[in-house]
Structure 1
Amino acid sequence: MAQIYLASRSPRRRELLAQLNIQYQLVDGEIDESQLLDESAIDYVIRLACEKAQQGWQNCDKTMPVLGSDTIVVYQNQLLGKPANEQDGLNTLSLLSGNQHQVITAVAIKWQDNIETVVVSSDVEFAQLDEQEILAYWQTGEPQDKAGSYAIQGIGGQFVKSIQGSYSAIVGLPLYETKQLIQKVLKQL
């Protein structure tokens, strides 16, 4: 029997949630992900996670809590979302090349009139990449639907020199913090 609803289409989040041995059912949590004017990266990612959980709550039978999550990539206070096109992706990878950036993941759990959140920020240091490496990576197709134009758990992992923080949060769901949040919520039911 399921313990929660998951308001996410991300296969990576489903895989990570399965690692926690948490039973879940999928529910639609689609929202407008546009950033608000003057909204900080932290406020943005928390808002999106909360809105996804709230949208999921509206679309379920309200018998279990709903988990929503969002992950963003930030370089020098600039949000680097999913690339709009090839040039955008190449520019993003060029920005990350040889530099450190942050990956921030927020998790929200909604049930009844309550919502609990947790945010995890990790620092990622990228190797110096030349234009050929960037283009070859783009042509694999992997970066085309990923925030920051790369996937640490895939081919893009070869460009990551180091991380400080949670690897699973970079992939899309911080395992430790998510488990603690789910346990906290389930105890209150």
Structure 2
Amino acid sequence: MSFIYLASQSPRRRQLLDQLGVAHRLLLPDDAAAAEALEAVRPGEAPAAYVRRVTRLKLDAALRRLHQQGLPPAPVLCADTTVALGRHILGKPADAREAAAMLRQLAGGTHRVITALALQAGERRHEALSDSRVRFAPMSETELADYLASGEWQGKAGAYAIQGRAAAFIAHISGSYSGIMGLPLFETHQIMRLARL
């Protein structure tokens, strides 16, 4: 294998693939709004089912782009991450007010971070799921305001990134640190082995 396509705009996923030593090229959506529309939650949808469905849709869209653009064939990797409080899915906040509401819900409690990934290699599709638990310490209103002012919450499911300033409030994790970042390395390695890459 010379390289794979990564169908993701996340710089963290690129860094994690680099960490594994996986050569990759980006295969990004032409229309960011259409890509975001794929992330709409269906009524009553469970978090794990949601993140699996969105990952499959993103991979299908990436495969269409690959074909339409006439790019050299190579495996395509896609992933999606969501934060869940019970059955409630916390997506990317639209603004600072929504981010503050999410962080108030997470502070002082435990939530799940679920990342689904899918790899298309030829005719075969391999999928995996990483399900981790994160316990947040309580946050004072001053701490919350300082965090919001940093802007780090923007574009992040649940309004935080574990590898950023929010790490100061993470009391405990159970599961995959890289999965919480957005690409679980163990599961990524496993599906690449299954695909013989």
Q: TM-score range by the shorter chain?
A: over 0.9
* Counterpart position of 1:167: 177
Distance 1:62 1:112, change over 3 A: farther
Give structure 2 stretches of 5+ with no counterpart: none
- 1:35 equivalent to 2:45? Answer no
Alignment of 1:1-189 (within 5 A): 2-29=2-29, 31=35, 32-60=38-66, 61=71, 63-186=73-196
Deviates more, 1:120-129 or 1:108-117: 108-117
Structure 1: runs of 5 or more not aligned: none
* Count of aligned pairs: 187
- CA distance in structure 2 between the aligned counterparts of 1:52 and 1:186, rounded to whole angstroms: 22
Instruction: Kindly state the Cα deviation for residue 111 of structure 1 after the two structures are TM-superposed.
Output: 3.1
Q: Distance in 2 between matches of 1:70 and 1:138?
A: 23
Cα RMSD, aligned residues only: 1.5
TM-score of the aligned structures, taking structure 2 as reference length? 0.90
- Encode CA deviations 1:39-95: one digit per residue, 9 max, x unaligned: 211111011111112211111136111101000000121111111111111111100
Give distance in 2, aligned partners of 1:90 and 1:115.
38
How far has the Cα of 1:112 moved from its partner?
3.5
Larger displacement relative to structure 2 (37-46 or 26-35):
26-35
TM-score normalised by structure 1 residue count: 0.94
Task: Report the identity percentage.
Answer: 40
